[in-house]
Each structure stands twice: as structure tokens, then as C-alpha cells.
């Protein structure tokens, strides 16, 4: 009898819920976070969901679907907590999708910011990090975007889609950031995000009331880091080369000139890159081999006959040359920055661990810039769309 009572009592104990329960309406779900550096302090912005606005059942007053809360402090935690002076609830970071770092914070060094993210138990590893170029992080988070009610959702999906289909962007999550920052053989590279148009316009709902929003975001090139500090931006070609070499490229477009104004459009549909390292007489050499498959999607050149195998072969060679020039540009820029963002050192460490141990401390400064890189790029054009040469008459 007594034991039954004890068990009943224990079960009832469970029903009181745990100490740390936080009901859904007690938390502020943060979707996007941004961090700026202002006057010697961190300025943290949180883009927070307004749940009643995105629910399809109740159309309430015209409040925006998200709200921006900001806090200032000397540490990230202080900044985040200080915003409770304005916000009705405490933030919950478990649904964070995007973290925008301002360029200044990136130049000052990411270690402190990343450390806080790792230590906190609410952060997960699955959100993307980007660097704001030319604007502050909070401006990015204030943007009204068309199509998606939640702007960070929009930005996140755009990042993922553009990584797969356009190339000069990479979607990097926190665990990868930690890996690259801890590893000696790779340097960090993050995608940059830009605000086009008028930031003031972007804040208001009028931004999405017209067909072409005057204020939009756009993913621009890739930011190259050295250690945890941002050193430079890669332009479009260099960024494409970067994604290609690091085997992140899935699909992109290549334009081949065949005259003054006309370009052939080639769509790359898949690409695999491999980095092989060799030690020749004590000096490291890297062989980059890229294998891509492509389709022809745009034929503006009259002189190209798509039913001629020779023409296809010529196009393949020219496209491969372009890929090669992208890759070369990326490597050249990385060498100039003395920052091995491509991960050559990492591969070297795996293939020749003994040698790597001796050079890894001065890899970025001395050995990497001197490394000879050879390219082996093969591009195969498989299809030309649903037609060969169209019957359209060219003038």
C-alpha cells in the first residue's frame, strides 16, 4: 500500500512540470540576429516573429510579421539581455536561421562572437552566418521582403538556392565555422549580403506594396578571412572559383563570347572538384581537378552550329577555359591575401602529415603563396536543351 502511494506521489511530482518550463507565449522566437559594433559596444539586433501576424487564421491589425529588437552591451550576453528593457519577453534562440555579422565586427575578429554562440545552450549548430557588406547588420534585418512573410526565411532560402544555382555564395553553418576557425589548414570564408536601394524605404511596408521593391537584399561576393578577421572581398569570378574548388558548386551559368555582343549561355548542371597534393623535392604542389557537366541553354551566336560535334568540342574547351580562369583568379587572390581559404593546407595535412607538422605554422605566410597549383579541368556538354539549331532567322 505504501509503495503504491509513493509511486503515485512520484508520478504526481512529474506532472508539475519542470522548473525551467517556458510556455510558448513566454518566449520571443528569434529568427535572425545581427551584430554591429557601435561606439565601442556591441549592438545586437534580433528579428523576432510576431506569431499572430503569420497565422493564417486571424487577420489582426496591420502589424508587421516580424519586429526588430536591439540591445547594446560590452558583451553579447549583456546586449541580448538589455533588450528585455524593451521587449515583452526573453529571447529564445533555438529557431535562429540567419546570423548577420557587420563588416566591422568581421574585421575586428569573430572569435568572441563565435565563442558566445558555442557556449550558450539554446543555440543550435544549424544556422547560417553571413557578413553584411556596405550596410549595418541591423539594416539588413529591418528589410521588408516580398514573397516570404518572414524576411530571414527569405534570405535563408535565397542563400541556399543561390549556393546551389548561382555559385558566388556559400551557405556556412556554425559547426563549419568552428571547424575552419580551429583548423590550421583552412581559412574561413563567408558570403556577403548587401542592401540595394534605400534602407529607409526597406523598413516600411511600402517596400513590398510595389512590384519592384525599391529596397532589396542581394548576396554579393565571398568574404575572405585570415584567422578570425576579415581581410578582403572576392569579386564574382574569384567567388565562383572559390565555390568551384571547394566542391560547393552545383550549378551555375557561364557565358562564352563569340563576337562583340553575342554570348553563348552554358549551364553547368553538376561539378565535382578534387584537390590532390604532392610533395616534390620538399615543395608542396597542388593539383586541382574539376569535372563538370553542362548543357547549352542560350544560343545567340550564328556562327555556332549546334549539330556539329566539333562545335560542341570547341565550346567545351572554351567553357573549361573560363572555369579555369575563375579558379586561377581565386587562387591568385588567396595567395595575395596570404590566406588559404581554399583548404589546400588541410588536404596537405591529410596526405603528408609529417611534412604538414613542420610547415603548418608558416603555411599562410610562406609556403602557401609559393605552392604551385596545376589545373585539370574537364567540362562535358551533354545536352542542348530541347532543340538543336532553332529555325529562328537571325538578322
| Sequence-separated (6 or more) residues with CB below 8 Å from residue 171 | 128, 159, 160, 163, 191
Give dist(CA 142, CA 139) in Å, integer: 5
**What is the closest distance, in whole angstroms, from the C-beta atom of residue 175 to other proteins in the complex?**
5
Give dist(CA 100, CA 137) in Å, integer: 6
Residue whose C-alpha is closest to residue 50's, from 23, 29, 33, 81: 29
Q: Which of 89, 124, 229, 314 binds other proteins (CB under 8 A)?
A: 124
Interacting span for other proteins (CB under 8 A) from 76-84, 124-132, 140-148, 288-296: 124-132
Give dist(CA 311, CA 318) in Å, integer: 11
**What is the closest distance, in whole angstroms, from the C-beta atom of residue 39 to other proteins in the complex?**
32
DSSP string over 179-212:
HHHH-SS---EEEEEEEES-HHHHHSGGGGTSSS
Q: Indicate whether 349 belongs to the interface with other proteins (CB under 8 A).
A: yes
**What is the closest distance, in whole angstroms, from the C-beta atom of residue 136 to other proteins in the complex?**
30
Interacting span for other proteins (CB under 8 A) from 10-18, 139-147, 271-279, 298-306: 10-18
Q: Indicate whether 361 belongs to the interface with other proteins (CB under 8 A).
A: no
**What is the closest distance, in whole angstroms, from the C-beta atom of residue 20 to other proteins in the complex?**
4
- The CA-atom distances, in angstroms, between 302 and each of 256, 299, 314 are 13, 8, 15
Backbone angles phi, psi at 65, to 5 degrees: -65, -25
Please, which residue, 99 or 144, has the CB nearer to other proteins? 99
Are 301 and 351 in contact, with CB atoms under 8 Å apart?
no
Are 185 and 363 in contact, with CB atoms under 8 Å apart?
yes
Please, which residue, 192 or 349, has the CB nearer to other proteins? 349
Give dist(CA 171, CA 258) in Å, integer: 34
Q: Which of 86, 179, 198, 317 binds other proteins (CB under 8 A)?
A: 179
Q: Indicate whether 6 belongs to the interface with other proteins (CB under 8 A).
A: yes
Interacting span for other proteins (CB under 8 A) from 173-181, 245-253, 273-281, 334-342: 173-181
Q: Indicate whether 353 belongs to the interface with other proteins (CB under 8 A).
A: yes
Residues 293-312 that bind other proteins (CB under 8 A): none
Q: Which residues bind other proteins (CB under 8 A)?
A: 2-3, 6-7, 10, 13-14, 18-20, 94, 118, 121, 124-126, 175, 178-179, 182-183, 349-350, 353
Amino acid at each position: 500500500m505504501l509503495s503504491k502511494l509513493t509511486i503515485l506521489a512520484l508520478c504526481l511530482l512529474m506532472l508539475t512540470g519542470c522548473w525551467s518550463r517556458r510556455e510558448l507565449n513566454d518566449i520571443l522566437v528569434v529568427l535572425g540576429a545581427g551584430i554591429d559594433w557601435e561606439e565601442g559596444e556591441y549592438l545586437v539586433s534580433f528579428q523576432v516573429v510576431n506569431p499572430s501576424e503569420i497565422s493564417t487564421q486571424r487577420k489582426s491589425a496591420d502589424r508587421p510579421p516580424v519586429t526588430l529588437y536591439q540591445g547594446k552591451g560590452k558583451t553579447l550576453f549583456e546586449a541580448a539581455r538589455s533588450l528585455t528593457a524593451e521587449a515583452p519577453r526573453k529571447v529564445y534562440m533555438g529557431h535562429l536561421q540567419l546570423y548577420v555579422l557587420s563588416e566591422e565586427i568581421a574585421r575586428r575578429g569573430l572569435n568572441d562572437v563565435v565563442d558566445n554562440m558555442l557556449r550558450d545552450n539554446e543555440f543550435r549548430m544549424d544556422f547560417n552566418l553571413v557578413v553584411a557588406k556596405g550596410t549595418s547588420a541591423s539594416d539588413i534585418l529591418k528589410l521588408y521582403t516580398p514573397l516570404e512573410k518572414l524576411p530571414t526565411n527569405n534570405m535563408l532560402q535565397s542563400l541556399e538556392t543561390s549556393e546551389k544555382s548561382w555559385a558566388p555564395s556559400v551557405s556556412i553553418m556554425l559547426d563549419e565555422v568552428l571547424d575552419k576557425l580551429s583548423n590550421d589548414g583552412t581559412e574561413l570564408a563567408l558570403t556577403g549580403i548587401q542592401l540595394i536601394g534605400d534602407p529607409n524605404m526597406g523598413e516600411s511596408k511600402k517596400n513590398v506594396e510595389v512590384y519592384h521593391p525599391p529596397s532589396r537584399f542581394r548576396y554579393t561576393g565571398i568574404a575572405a578571412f585570415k584567422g578570425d578577421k576579415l581581410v578582403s572581398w572576392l569579386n564574382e569570378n574569384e567567388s565562383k572559383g572559390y565555390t568551384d574548388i571547394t566542391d560547393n558548386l552545383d550549378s551555375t551559368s557561364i557565358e562564352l563570347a563569340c563576337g562583340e555582343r553575342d554570348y553563348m549561355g552554358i549551364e553547368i548542371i553538376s561539378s565535382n572538384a578534387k584537390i590532390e597534393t604532392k610533395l616534390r623535392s620538399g615543395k608542396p604542389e597542388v593539383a586541382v581537378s574539376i569535372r563538370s557537366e553542362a548543357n547549352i541553354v542560350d544560343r545567340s551566336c550564328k556562327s555556332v552550329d549546334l549539330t556539329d560535334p566539333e562545335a560542341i568540342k570547341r565550346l567545351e574547351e572554351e567553357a573549361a577555359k573560363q572555369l579555369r580562369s575563375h579558379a586561377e583568379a581565386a587562387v591568385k587572390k588567396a595567395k595575395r591575401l596570404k590566406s588559404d581559404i581554399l583548404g589546400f593546407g588541410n588536404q596537405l595535412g591529410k596526405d603528408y602529415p609529417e611534412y604538414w607538422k613542420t610547415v603548418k605554422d608558416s603555411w599562410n605566410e610562406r609556403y602557401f603563396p609559393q605552392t604551385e597549383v596545376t589545373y585539370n579541368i574537364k567540362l562535358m556538354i551533354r545536352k542542348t536543351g530541347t532543340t538543336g539549331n532553332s529555325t529562328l532567322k537571325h538578322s
